[in-house]
Every structure is written in C-alpha cells, then in structure tokens.
Amino acid sequence: MKELNTPYVPTWCLGCGDYGILHAWKKAVAMLELDPEQIALVSGIGCSSKIAQYVNTYRIETLHGRTLPVATGVKLANHRLTVIAEGGDGDGTGLGMGHFVHTARRNLDITYFIHNNQIYGLTKGQTSPTSDLGSVTKFTPLPKGNVEQPINIVQTALQVGATFVARSTAADPNLAAVMAKAITHKGFAVVDILQPCVSFNHVNTYQWYKERIYRVDQLPDYDPADYGQASAIAGQWGDKIPVGVIYRSERMIFEESLPQLAAEPLAGQSVENVSVTSLMDALA
C-alpha cells in the first residue's frame, strides 16, 4: 500500500468519508497485487475526485460530469489497462447521468466508484440528485426542503445495464473486498459508496447509516445472479438499506465487439501513412 502513496496530503474535512474510501482503494489494489503502472484512474470534479491526487498510479482529473467518456477513451486506447473511474453522486448522476447510462449499456470493462454523500460538498452544500426528499440546506430551506425525487444509484445502475452492482459505506470494513471484486469483474462495475459529509449533511451520518444498513450476503438464499431478486432489493432505501454485491452477471464487453482491438491495443498499433485527405475525397 505504501507504493501507492503520493507526497500530497489530503485536504478533505476531518472525519470525511473520503478518507475511508482512499484507504480501502489502496488496500483493494494491494490485495489484488496490481501493477500501479497498469492502472489508469479517471476522476471528475468534486471532493471525491481529489482522490486522484493521492494515489500513485496514472490518473486524469477531467471536467465535471465527464469522468466516464474520458475513461471510455482510455479503455479503448489501451484495453489492457485496469481503468477505474471515480466521482461523486453529483458528478455521476447530475451532469454525468447520460454518460452513466451509455457506459452501462455498452458494458465497457471499467470500474466506477461513486462517492455518495447526498450533497454537493465542494460547492458548499447544495442538494444533489441523490438527496432525500425534504433535505434541508441553505439552498433548499424550510418548509419543504428538497422537492426533487432522489436517484437510487444501485437501482439505476441495475436498470441501465451494469453487469456488477454493489453498495458499501466508507466505514464498512468489507469495503476493500467489495472494491476488489468490482475491479476484477469483467464488464461495467458500479459501487455506490455511502459516505457522510461532516460539513454540509448532518442527517446522513455514520450513525444514520449504521442503524439502517444490512448485508445481502446474510440473507437466506440470496443469489446476486438473479435479476428479479436484485431488482427487489435495489429499490430499498430509508429504514432498510442493502449493502454488498447486489447483482453480478456476464455478457460480452464492448471491447470484445471491436475487431480493431483483436490483435493488440490501439496504443500499440502503427498510425503511419494514414491519409485523412484521401478518405475525405472519397466521401466528397
């Protein structure tokens, strides 16, 4: 894990769930004995996306909401890399929702960790697309608070075609193991990581989650390959919140459908003597 450290000191608020996610991230990579030089971490904008500054792999910080299209480009340029996308609930289900849907339905071999604190933390506390109904912030005051229906990330990921869907929390001792399973899954893997924002969300706290979460692997006869079971579980939120591997299936990944990638990655192929002019003339 020490090989994954960088000289930069995290600037998250003390007590932020991002610290737990960062530790679990490094632990998962160490558990899998992955070569840091064969990992590409792509992040968006926000508190969560600062994680790219704190892990010693190849990493790209992109525009807000554009994590997944950049991760797609990296994967298609060199599909032998382990590509991990990282972002927050606002980054992924706000501006990035369209990219989320299409990456899932294409089933690219990308792992997507979503830091879900149900708030826009970096911009000081607006409600996000995952904020609960009635959430009160300085931007959504009483008497009604947030009036927009929240997005359930697990349910959405399942419905749009992700082949691995899981949920955990920043304080879960099993988080690293769940992340490792997502990384090794062949296909689009989504992990919804519930994490408190100690500065701007004083409702969804560590204690709030602790009182509500339960592990699906402790349910009798639960089968994550059963889409019907997974759908019924995925919709739960509020008094009961399921965590663990909710759904896992196999289907052809997008990269395998491209004959251009069969021999070797695009990054290793020669692009000499390619005449764009002749191609344009042929279309004229």
Report the SS3 class of residue 122.
Answer: coil
pLDDT digits (tens, 9 = 90+) for 138-157: 889 889 999 999 999 999 99
Express as a percent the part of the chain with pLDDT over 70.
Answer: 99
Res 178: pLDDT: 98
Res 284: pLDDT: 75
Alpha-carbon distance 31 to 25, whole Å?
Answer: 10
Query: CATH homologous superfamily for 2-258?
Result: Thiamin diphosphate (ThDP)-binding fold, Pyr/PP domains (3.40.50.970)
Q: How far is CA 167 from CA 71, 184, 203, in A?
A: 21, 16, 19
Res 200: pLDDT: 95
Alpha-carbon distance 14 to 11, whole Å?
Answer: 9
Say whether pLDDT at 269 is over 90: no
Alpha-carbon distance 270 to 41, whole Å?
Answer: 25
pLDDT digits (tens, 9 = 90+) for 7-31: 999 999 999 999 999 999 999 999 9
The first and second tokens of residue 79, run together, are 């599909």
Res 63: pLDDT: 93
- Tell which residue, 125, 214, 225, has the closest CA to residue 169: 214
Report the SS3 class of residue 190.
Answer: strand
Strands 241-248 and 164-169: antiparallel
Indicate the pLDDT class of residue 238, thresholds 50, 70 and 90.
very high
Contact 140, 127 (CB under 8 A): yes
Q: How far is CA 23 from CA 28, 107, 224, in A?
A: 9, 27, 26
Say whether pLDDT at 279 is over 80: no
Going by C-beta distance under 8 Å and a sequence separation of 6 or more, which residues neighbour residue 164?
181, 182, 185, 187, 188, 189, 190, 245, 247, 248, 249
pLDDT digits (tens, 9 = 90+) for 198-228: 999 999 999 999 999 999 999 999 999 999 9
Report the SS3 class of residue 273.
Answer: coil
Identify the helix (H) or strand (E) that includes residue 213: strand 213-215
Indicate the pLDDT class of residue 263, thresholds 50, 70 and 90.
confident
Alpha-carbon distance 115 to 173, whole Å?
Answer: 16
The first and second tokens of residue 205, run together, are 């706290």
Res 97: pLDDT: 95
Res 277: pLDDT: 85
Going by C-beta distance under 8 Å and a sequence separation of 6 or more, which residues neighbour residue 46?
64, 87, 88, 90, 91, 115, 120, 121, 122
Rounded to a whole number of angstroms, the CA Rg of the chain reads: 20
Going by C-beta distance under 8 Å and a sequence separation of 6 or more, which residues neighbour residue 94?
65, 128, 129
Summarize the confidence of residues 22-46 as an average pLDDT.
Answer: 97
The mean pLDDT value of the chain amounts to 95
Name the residue with tokens 């979460």.
213
Alpha-carbon distance 113 to 70, whole Å?
Answer: 15
Res 275: pLDDT: 75
Indicate the pLDDT class of residue 80, thresholds 50, 70 and 90.
very high
Q: At what angle do helices 97-106 and 153-160 cross, to 10 degrees?
A: 50
Summarize the confidence of residues 249-276 as an average pLDDT.
Answer: 88
Summarize the confidence of residues 162-179 as an average pLDDT.
Answer: 97
Q: In sequence order, what are the beta bridge partners of 60?
A: 42
The first and second tokens of residue 112, run together, are 């997507």
Least confident of 7-16, 73-82, 273-282: 273-282
Alpha-carbon distance 232 to 73, whole Å?
Answer: 34
- 276 vs 21, residue with greater confidence: 21
